[in-house]
Amino acid sequence: MNIEHLLKVKAPIADVYRTLTTEKGLAAMWTRDLRVSEDVGGVSEFRFAPDDDKTDMRIDQLVPNQKVVWFCIDSHPEWIGTKISFDLTETAGVTTIILRHMEWRDVTDYYRLCNYHWAMFLLNLKQYCEKGIVST
């Protein structure tokens, strides 16, 4: 079972890709307490206050200006073993992002909450890429 979202961003694909693969970009859309690996096989670490929740993502695939894939190795138990992908395409200066959070075991309240939060994080990404607004 997957969570899936589609978002259109009025920004060049290179800007969106950079947002999804750098500390500066991910800090603008997700959390400021992070350490990001920019290499396939590396692990990016994300921390969320006030509960000091953490999420560690192994970088499984980076295709510049096309695709980013993470594999969750540590987080809330329902996230561990799931994959997150961002597929990117650009037409006439508008980048389309398809986010998939894959391999959920069940539809739970936590699944529903995460579905909502992914939508909000994508909105943050849109505001950052289009207007330079840092939302976290």
- Token readout for 41 is 């096989």
Range 105-118 average pLDDT: 96
Q: Does a structural domain hold residue 74?
A: yes
Where residue 18 sits, what CATH number does that domain have? 3.30.530.20
Q: Does a structural domain hold residue 136?
A: no
* pLDDT, tens digit, 9 for 90 and up, residues 40-73: 999 999 998 777 789 999 999 999 999 999 999 9
Q: Does a structural domain hold residue 31?
A: yes
* pLDDT, tens digit, 9 for 90 and up, residues 75-101: 999 999 999 999 999 999 999 999 999
Residue tagged 């939060």 (tokens): 117
pTM given for the model = 0.95
For the chain, the domain total comes to 1
Q: Does a structural domain hold residue 122?
A: yes
Domain holding 40, by residue range, is 3-131
Q: What's the rounded Cα separation, in Å, for the pair 120 and 7?
A: 11
Taking 90 as the threshold, does the pLDDT of residue 123 lie above it?
yes
Q: Does a structural domain hold residue 32?
A: yes
The alpha-carbon radius of gyration of the chain (Å, integer) is 14
Report residue 17: phi and psi, to 5°. -60, -45
The β-bridge relationship of strands 83-91 and 67-74 is antiparallel
Q: Please provide the average confidence, as pLDDT, over all residues in the chain.
A: 95
